[in-house]
Amino acid sequence: YLQVTTNGKKNEIYNGIPDWVYEEEVFSSTYGIWWSPGGQFLAYVFLNDTAVERIEYSYYGNDQYPKTVVIPYPKANSTIPIVKLFVVETTSNVTSEVTVPDIIGASDHYMYTVTWVTDERIAVQWTNRSQNYGIIQICDYVASDWNCSQVYNAQLCLRTRWYSPFPPHFTGDNESFYKILSDRNGYKHIHYLTSGKEPQLITSGEWEVIYIVKVTKDALITIGSSHSEPQCMTCNTRRERCKYNSAYFSKNATYYRMDCSGEFKFSTICFNNILCGFFLELRILEENKELEEILKDIQMPTVKQGNIQVAGFKLWYQMTLPPSFDKSKKYPLLIDVYAGPCSQKVDYRFRLNWASYLASTEKIIVASFDGRGSGYQGDRIMHALYRRLGTYEVEDQITAARKFIDMGFIDKKRVAIWGWSYGGYVTSMVLGSGSGVFKCGIAVAPVSKWEYYDAVYTERYMGRPIKSDNLAYYQNSTVTERAANFKSVNYLLIHGTADDNVHFQQAAQISKALVDENVDFETMWYTDKDHGLDGSAHRHVYIHMSHFLKQCFSLS
Q: Which residues are catalytic?
A: 421, 499, 531
Neighbours of 290 (CB within 10 A): 9
Classify the C-alpha dihedral 164-337-449-539 as positive or negative.
Answer: negative
| Dmax (CA) of the chain | 78
* Calpha distance 530→533 (Å, rounded): 6
Phi, psi of 512 (to 5 degrees): -60, -45
Phi, psi of 224 (to 5 degrees): -135, 175
Q: What is the dihedral of CA 483, 469, 503, 336, to 10 degrees?
A: 60
Phi, psi of 276 (to 5 degrees): -85, -15
* Calpha distance 96→116 (Å, rounded): 16
Burial of 196 (0-12, 13-18, 19+ CB in 10 A): exposed
* Calpha distance 53→2 (Å, rounded): 33
**Residue of 384, 405, 491 whose CA lies nearest to 161:** 384
The DSSP code for 25 is I
Relative to beta strand 188-193, strand 200-201 is antiparallel
* Calpha distance 411→334 (Å, rounded): 11
Name the 3-class secondary structure at 551. Answer: helix
The DSSP code for 363 is -
The answer to whether 455 and 78 are in contact (CB under 8 A) is yes
The answer to whether 370 and 317 are in contact (CB under 8 A) is yes
The answer to whether 419 and 394 are in contact (CB under 8 A) is no
Task: Give whole-number Cα distances, 101 to 136, 150, 156, in Å.
Answer: 10, 10, 16
Neighbours of 209 (CB within 10 A): 25
* Calpha distance 211→375 (Å, rounded): 13
* Calpha distance 156→347 (Å, rounded): 33
Write the CB contacts of 49 (distance below 8 Å, at least 6 apart in sequence). 11, 12, 13, 14, 19, 72, 81
The answer to whether 472 and 390 are in contact (CB under 8 A) is no
Q: What is the CA radius of gyration of the chain?
A: 25
Burial of 230 (0-12, 13-18, 19+ CB in 10 A): middle
